[in-house]
Chains A and B, each alone.
Chain A
Amino acid sequence: MRSCLRLISLLLLLWQTPCMAQEYNLLMQVRGQEITGICVINTTPENEVVGTVVSEFGVKAFDFTYANGKAKVLNVIAMLDKWYIRKVLRKDLAFILENLPQGQDAVKKKRSISFLPNGDIEMKNRRFNIRYTFSPMNHETDQ
């Protein structure tokens, strides 16, 4: 019984580990088409990132994780679930999440990221003509 209670305490401790969650309004411009949504990014103290992109109505577009310089795209909504879309998203997200903590403009091959004076973060993929604009929402929550 004592070991069981110890296990429960340990699980509770792990559950209460603080993660910083930041919410963004996301605007994706893809070859003249515009898609908007909400992007939530959680960073653990170990610098692992877990995030999600949902529509304003709450429907999930996809989840993503980022660790050791690599991004994974998970649970992609059926209409976007094509290998070439997943590949572009994975690489664009890896570039964004690599540069997000530094908060400095950066360029790498056909990708660039800019931190605008109004607080927006703009990432351009010139190869596929995609632009992502992340506008931070005015609240940050501890989990």
Chain B
Amino acid sequence: MRKVLIILFTLHCSLFTAWSQIKLTAEQQKEILEKVDKSASAASSMQCDFTQTKKMKLLSKEMLSKGVMYFKRPDKLRWQYTTPYDYTFILNGDKVQLKSAKSTKNIDVQGNKMFRQISNIILNSVTGGNLKSSSDFNVEVYKSVEGYFARMYPKKKELKQIYQAIEIYFNPSLTMISTVKMIEKTGDVTIVKLTNSKTGVAIDEKLFKVN
């Protein structure tokens, strides 16, 4: 009987945590997103480590990868996986380079609608910028026990086909993104946690070089 009570209590706590998300009013949402936007605009550069966990529904398995990220305003980004595989995404203006151990590919973002959207998602997910006037997403802001987060529902067909929603979690001072959660239509979830974030640091231009 005691075990049953413990299970019921645990279940109650889990449900309480899941439900304790409060959707902000339009006015509160505007205020929060303006704070985030202000911080995003103030950061001329940023670097951090990241941990990506992919939860695969069909395999009931998690896949973990780690890497580093460098960002320089307005549109330079290096997103580099270092373990368990080497893979680098470099965005430099209109140019993107995808580099793996066996392949290097250069893409002109202007000529590729899908890539333009993906690049925008990555940039905005990292900086938190453009959330208040996103043309790609309907944005709702919630307050949970972990702090504030924005839940973004894709507007455009290409993204709607992939994502159910993308959630961006902010740090308590609303100056940085701490976690990005991407919920796919298939039920798979990818969680990217950003750690050791530093803003305003000098970053070597070579890191953004697209050959």
Contacts and interface: CB of A to CB of B under 8 A. Distances in A.
Interface residues of A, number: 32
Contact of A40 (B63, B182, B190): B63
B61 A56 contact: no
Contacts of A74: 58
22 contacts: A25-B85, A25-B100, A25-B101, A27-B100, A27-B102, A34-B105, A36-B103, A50-B59, A52-B59, A54-B54, A56-B85, A59-B182, A60-B184, A63-B58, A63-B186, A75-B58, A75-B186, A77-B161, A78-B158, A79-B161, A137-B84, A138-B84
B59 A58 contact: no
Contact of B59 (A21, A59, A133, A137): A21
Interface in A1-38: 1, 15, 21, 23, 25, 27, 34, 36, 38
A21 B61 CA distance: 9
A40 B85 contact: no
Contacts of B190: 57-59
A25 B102 contact: yes
B103 A38 contact: no
Nearest to A64: B58
A36 B84 contact: no
B162 A78 contact: yes
A112 interface: no
A50 B52 CA distance: 22
| Residue among B101, B114, B161, B186 with the highest chain A CB neighbour number at 10 A | B186
Contacts of A23: 63, 84
A124 B102 CA distance: 17
B56 interface: yes
